[in-house]
Each structure stands twice: as structure tokens, then as C-alpha cells.
Structure 1
Amino acid sequence: MKNVKLFFHKLTNWEYWPYQVVYFPVYFQYLFFAARAKSFFFFNAANPSIKNGGFFMESKKEIYDLIPQKYYPKTILIPQATPTNEIVSKISDSHIQFPVIAKPDVGLRGTAVKKLYNEKDIESYASKAKFNFLIQDTIPYDKEIGLFYVKLPNSKHGTITGIVEKEFLIVTGNGQNTIREILNTDPRYQFQIKALEKEYGAQIDKILPLNESINLVPYGNHCRGTKFIDASIKITPKMITTFNAICSEIEGFYYGRMDIMFSNYEDLENGKNFQIVEINGAISEPTHIYDPKHSIIFGWKELLKHYNYLYQISIQNNHKGHPYLSFKEGISEFKKHNNYYNTILDF
């Protein structure tokens, strides 16, 4: 019965629909743009300093290296098969403190992102990771948003096209029910129980004390149970000015979503007390569309609008001398992506 209810919840809430369905009208727009650009991989020129424009197989570490250090947490790259003692030594030398965040250098919708509390956790993560990964300081702010930024290369200034707030998978105890029982009261959380069983084991069957809260997934990913809330109303002229200045310091960045943790909107507006979790390039979604209050029609309009921006930016950068990927190169990169996809899903 529970599975049937979850099926109908997915069916009647389009935020859970397969991306092939959500993106259906975008495919036709994309083919039209590809024909006009005479390149199926025109998006490569969207962000010239990021591999493949940030559409696939881009290194997060290489993107961090484009960002001034003051804007993101201390981060180190750990090559696959690095011994645990070397990892711990690198963490110490970099003055990164436990708990740390570990995540693949080439990401995939939040897969294999973990919070690690000690050397034992490091050893466990490294033993399973068949990929290069990053270790980061935990960001000291508790609010997270995705801020979508676009700038036409021929324009002096860009703009913010949307902000999504992220409501983490946090449960609060009543002193009577187990964590599992609390999770079962919300379909959004029910979808995550299998993954949480794998991560927390028997802990999810413990009773959570009255008013005690626990953040079961401390990173804002929709696939991991985070609720997305459209906060575009928070965009102000001052915030746009601030992020035009910030993004001007990031070489070759014209299109994408910046995931940001911050203290409050007033400080963010003034460029204070925030850190960039990561920057997503040409593959970025305007994730404010996944607010449950929005219709699929709203989602389609926003997707089409943003892919139009992607096309316009790519064309202008191409005219400035930034090449598109050839069809052969693009197919090769796509095959690498598929192989990597299968590897990371095995984590």
C-alpha cells in the first residue's frame, strides 16, 4: 500500500518526474539551436574556462581554481587510490578541520557526497571511491541557496535569473517515535529511507528525544530529499550589483548556478558572510522551478528561457574566438561521461 501511495505521489507531483519528461520541449529547442549554431555541442563555448562549458566531465577542483579563495571553503584534491595516511596528512597540512565534506571531483547530482567525522570515515570513503575526490572544510553557515547567474559576453553586466532556497532533510523528535517512523510521515522523506538505511544503519530505528533535531542529509540536493523553494523574490538590484562584481573575478564564467551557503540575505546582498559550495556550468538547472507550488508549465517556460540564454552566450563567445566541440570530440566526451556515470553509481 505504501508503495502505491508513493507511486501516485510521484505521478501527481511533477518535481519527481523523470528528467526525460520534464525536458521534453527543451529537446526540440536544443535541436533548433544546434542547427543554427551548426554544432551539436555549441554549449562548450558558454563558459570558456570550464571544461565542456560545464556540461559534462568538468572538474570541480579546476572550477574552484578559477574562484578567488576568499569565496569558497578550503579544498584539496585526492587522487583515486591515495593511501589513508597520506589523505589525513594532506588534511592536516591544509588546516582543514573535521568534520569534512567529501565529494567526487566530477560530480553527479549529489551522488557520493558525504560528511566525514574522523580518520575511520576517511578510510571507508577512500576504499570505495573509484574516482578522484575532494575534501573540504565544512562551511560554517546554515542557509543554502542556488543562485542562477547569466551574462551575455557582449554586455557590461549580467543578472540573477532565479534563487532557490534549500530546506534540508531535518527531522525533529517527539520522544516517542523512531527516526524511521518520523520519516514515514512525509512522502519526500519516504523516498530517501533506503539510502538512509545504507548510511545510518540501525540508527534510524532509534527514538529521537523530544525537540531534538537531526540533519540527515547536510547538503542541499533534491535527489537526496532536500525541498526546493523559489526565493527569486529576494533578488534585488543591490544583490545583482554585488554578484556582477563577484562573477567578474571568476575567469570565463557567464552561465550557471552558484550553490551558496550564507548567514542572512542582508549580508549576502553586501557580499559578506557567505561561501560558494560549487559552481555548475552549462548543465545547470534553474532549480527554483522545482518548488512544489509551481506548475510544469512554469517549469517549461523557465527551462526554455534559460536554454535560450545558454545559446545566446555560446554564440557570442564563439564569435569572440572560443570554439565549439567538434562532433567527434563531443561524442568522445559523452562516452566518458556514461562510463563515469556507471562508476560513480556503484559507490
Structure 2
Amino acid sequence: MTSATLLDAAMLSGPALFAALVVATFVSEDLTCLGAGLLVAAGRVEWFPAVAACFAGIALGDTGVWLIGCAAGGRGWVKRRLPESRLAAFSHWLGRHGGRTAFASRFLPGTRVPLLLAAGIARRGGVRFLLWAFVAALVWVPLVVLSVAFFGAAVPRWAVLSVAVGAFVAPRTGPRFFTRTGRLKVAAAVAKLWRWEFWPAWAFYLPLVPWYALLSLRYRSFTVWTAANPGIPAGGVVGESKSDILAKLPNEWIIPTLLVPAGEHGARLRLLRESLSERGWGFPLVLKPDAGQRGAGVKRVHDPADVEKYLLANPGPVIAQPFHAGPFEAGVFYARVPGEARGRIFSVTDKVFPAVTGDGRSTLEELIWVHPRYRMQAAVFVSRHPADAGRVLGAGEPFALGLAGNHCQGTLFRDGAHLVTPELEAAFDALAKHFDGFFVGRFDVRYADPAEFRAGRGFAVVELNGATSESTNLYDPAWPLWRAYRTLFAQWALVFRVGAANRARGHTPVRVRELFGLLRAHYRDRRLDPLAD
């Protein structure tokens, strides 16, 4: 509530003032409560009507947000983006902890609106969450209004928050930060402010926008980079078939791959079973969507029951590969400007897979939360291993947390410049030239011996990604942020340059409308198993 609004409210009286305070909470609840306290202090209104008006407005606002969630829950676009398993798990959690969460969210700015929306979508616990939000408002509103009324506008907001939390949030009924795990969760959330490798993708990529605009002006096209790889649809933007790409590489350099197309579930199972028998493949296998993104949906399966469960959860095209024991994996970002005789390795990422070791006392979930890195992505690991989360690991017992060599799936990325040799660069240059129409992208490979890998031998390609693949060494936590952005900007300058060179050779970039159509179609239709390895 601004000073002008407060002055206008002060000129009102009775029902008009009550209604003005109710409506003002829709703009800013906190400022309205502060303003109401000043009106009480000035003698313009009695304390009870002021508190009642603020509470009524907040309750109406919370109910409106909750109802929006209820309405959205029945929409098809929400159902497509929220798997049934996750909705059931959240509803169960909300049924158990909705009261404490609703109460705590009142005192934690920025959390209440998304929680109210989620409570509206949930099938269980949503009404309970809303009722406890009302209870929290009954505590919050008198506290703020009367504090200002008695002590004046000089009462700082942090003091009101401190009193509220200390007086009304007890360990048994309060938020989880009163437990050890809860405190570690708070520490992880705060640490993400400066640990940029865990920033949301949209936040990390935001500084790229003006650089992208400058490159578009320089090359006179917003989408010229989509011509970077004429042998891949749209250069490898999104949704390209992994199996089609691997089929264009020499068999001796790739992990054998089987495509299981979409179709009737029984037919897919028969195809996979017969193909395993014909090829002599055994378990474990790695299954993943043929058009996956950022490691989503990658899962190691150990028996036919796992296969059936995975195919049911992923009805789209899926590829199967024998599990490569590694134990090493790297991402090799390669580029060759059309017309130049040789390409080069832009970067190598050395991947370290997440694992914990038991101490004989702690559960798997506790080991994850006490680890200074794994706690940053604890939700990914715990949801991936629900059956083991509460199990106490024996002293010295190792437990692998992830398989997918992707940062957002928990893998640590380190700069692998020490692996680059002339022999390795020559090997990947020769490999890339076997693919007619490929010039820039990232090979994800597995290998057993670092010395042999540096010599350009003994590796197998897991998959090849096109123009929008990342030079993933930029996520090395040892790097300063400026170095990560220098690498990201250099990568995109290179992709634009390759695209422009191919345009000059007669290859046409996709149009802007077509590009956005590809992105929209992919993210609308993608349905992936949330419990990926």
C-alpha cells in the first residue's frame, strides 16, 4: 500500500474502508497489513475491523489461488506435464505434511502461491492445506497489524518475521528446518545462490540472449545455426532421433543400438525379447527415449520385469543398448568449419558419476543430505531410489546414485583438457567425417583406460548430439563464472559460424516459425520415466 493509497483509505470510513483494505490485499498483503496498522495508530479505524478486513482479503486471495490450481488440475496440458506417479506421491506427502507446510509458508516469502496452486491440483490434502493457510493468516495478520499499531511504522519486517517464527512455529509442528535434514535443505537452497552450476537453465542462459542477438545481426539470420549440421533435422535442435544419428557412424565405434518404436505394448516386448536373443545381448541393458533431452529417461534395467515397467512408462520410441561397463565417460565437443580440411576438439568433459559409501549408521537419504554436493540435487537422487532411501548402508558399502552422464541427473562435470592429444583429435576428426552432413556437436563416449583413450583408441560412442548440445566442461565447479560464460559464448559463436558456412554452400536454415514449432511439439509430447538412473 503506497502513501497515496493509504491517504485515500484514511478518507474512507465504515464499510468503504473495510472493502478498500480487502481489495488492497490483492495487490500486496504485507503492505496492506502495515497500512492498516498505521490507520489503527492514527485512530482512523478500530483494531478489530482492520484485522478482520486484512484477514478476509488474504483468505479470499488464498482461496482464489487454490481454486485456480483445482481448475488447472483437470486440464490436459497439466496432466501431460505431471506424471500420475508424481501426482500420487505429492498428494500422499501433502496429506501427511500439508498442515505444517501451509503454516510455515506464511512466514517464508515466495513459497505460498506455488504451494497453494499445487495443493489445488493435488487429490489429497489440498483442502487441509488451505485450512491451515487460514490458521497461519489468523496468526500473521494480528501480529503485523497490531505490532505497527502499537510500535509504529519503524518496526522492521525482519523483527516481525523473527517473532512470528519463534513464537508460533514449534519443532513438532513447525517447518522442517528445525531438524538436521531440514537445516541441510535450507543450506543447500541458500548455497545455490552462488553455486551457479545448479542455477535453473533459464537463469544461467539469460546472459546469452544479448550475445545471441549480436550473432544473429552479424550473420543476418536468427536461425542460421540450424544449418550447422545438414545431416541432422534442423541441425540437431531438439527431438532428433538418436538411433538415426548413430546409424550414420561406423559400427565399430558405437555401442550397438536397437530401436523399439512406439506401438502396441506386447509387440514392443516381443521385438525386444527376440532381438536380444538374436544379438546375444544379456542384462543389464540401458533403455532411453529415442528423442530424449538432458539425460532424462535413461535407465539401466536388470531383468524382463524392469523392461516391461519401463516400456509401459515410456510409450514413445525407445532405444536399447548393452550396458558399457566403462567405468569412464566423457563428452567430446567437436567442430569442423565446412571447407576446412581438419576439424578440432573444442572441449572434453570428464564425467564423475555420483556415489556414496555407507557408515553403518546412516540411511541412504541421510548420506545424500550430509554430502556437500549431493544435497544440491538430493530430490533427484531420493526420487530415483525410493526403495533404498530409508535403508541403512553397511560400513564401507558403496551405492551408485546415478548412471546418466548428465549434469542435471547428478553427474559431476570436470574440464577434461588433460585428455586431449593430437591422436585423440585425429580419431574424432576421422569419426566425424564418416557422417555426411555433420560438422559440430558433442560425442558422449565411454572407455575403460584413460591412456588408451588419449591415444585415440578403446572408446565407444553412446550418442551424438547436434548443434544445441553443450560444451559441458563449462559446469566444472572449479571454474569461475566468467570462464564458463567465455566458453558458452565461444561455443555459440562457433555454431553460428559453421551454420553460416553451410548456408553459403546452399543449405537452408529452418524458419523461425518452424523452429518454435519444433520446440513446442517436442516439449508438449515428451513423456519420460521420472525415475531415471
User: Does 1:344 pair with 2:504?
Assistant: no
Kept in 2, the 8 Å contact 1:45–1:324? The answer is yes
The counterpart of 2:443, out of the listed 249, 258, 263, is 258
Kept in 2, the 8 Å contact 1:166–1:227? The answer is yes
Kept in 2, the 8 Å contact 1:191–1:225? The answer is no
TM-score (normalised: structure 1) = 0.94
CA distance in 2 between partners of 1:241 and 1:156 (Å) = 12
User: Secondary structure of the residue that 1:91 maps to in structure 2?
Assistant: helix
User: Secondary structure of the residue that 2:370 maps to in structure 1?
Assistant: coil
* Sequence identity (%): 29
CA distance in 2 between partners of 1:329 and 1:107 (Å) = 20
Paired position in structure 1 for 2:332: 147
What pairs up with 1:244-255 in 2 under 5 angstroms?
244-255=429-440
Kept in 1, the 8 Å contact 2:189–2:376? The answer is no
User: Secondary structure of the residue that 2:339 maps to in structure 1?
Assistant: coil
The counterpart of 2:510, out of the listed 302, 307, 325, is 325
CA distance in 2 between partners of 1:345 and 1:299 (Å) = 31
* Higher RCO (Cα < 8 Å, 6 or more apart): 1
CA distance in 2 between partners of 1:86 and 1:197 (Å) = 33
Deviation at 1:165, TM superposition (A): 0.9
What pairs up with 1:65-80 in 2 under 5 angstroms?
65-80=247-262
Which amino acid is 1:209 matched to?
A: G
Paired position in structure 1 for 2:229: 47
CA distance in 1 between partners of 2:378 and 2:304 (Å) = 26
Deviation at 1:213, TM superposition (A): 1.5
User: Does 1:177 pair with 2:362?
Assistant: yes
The counterpart of 1:10, out of the listed 192, 195, 205, is 192
The counterpart of 1:26, out of the listed 201, 208, 225, is 208
Kept in 1, the 8 Å contact 2:313–2:529? The answer is no
What pairs up with 1:205-284 in 2 under 5 angstroms?
205-284=390-469
Higher helix share: 2
The counterpart of 2:381, out of the listed 163, 179, 196, is 196
User: Does 1:131 pair with 2:313?
Assistant: no
Paired position in structure 2 for 1:307: 492
CA distance in 2 between partners of 1:74 and 1:233 (Å) = 29
Paired position in structure 2 for 1:98: 283
CA distance in 1 between partners of 2:514 and 2:361 (Å) = 58
Higher strand share: 1
Deviations 1:16-46 (A, max 9, x none): 1122222223211222222343432212211
Could you list the runs of 5+ residues in structure 2 that have no partner in the other structure?
1-182
Deviation at 1:230, TM superposition (A): 1.1
CA distance in 1 between partners of 2:383 and 2:485 (Å) = 35
Paired position in structure 2 for 1:294: 479
Deviations 1:291-326 (A, max 9, x none): 111111111111111111001100111111111112
The counterpart of 1:107, out of the listed 273, 276, 292, is 292
Paired position in structure 1 for 2:148: none
Kept in 1, the 8 Å contact 2:284–2:323? The answer is yes
Which amino acid is 1:331 matched to?
A: F
Deviations 1:240-273 (A, max 9, x none): 1222122222222211111111122321133322
Could you list the runs of 5+ residues in structure 1 that have no partner in the other structure?
none
Paired position in structure 2 for 1:118: 303
Deviation at 1:235, TM superposition (A): 1.4
Which amino acid is 1:271 matched to?
A: G
Kept in 2, the 8 Å contact 1:175–1:210? The answer is yes
User: Does 1:160 pair with 2:345?
Assistant: yes
Deviation at 1:328, TM superposition (A): 3.3
Kept in 2, the 8 Å contact 1:242–1:269? The answer is no
CA distance in 2 between partners of 1:231 and 1:330 (Å) = 32
- The structure with more radius of gyration: 2
CA RMSD of aligned residues (A): 1.9
Moved more, 7-16 or 204-213: 204-213
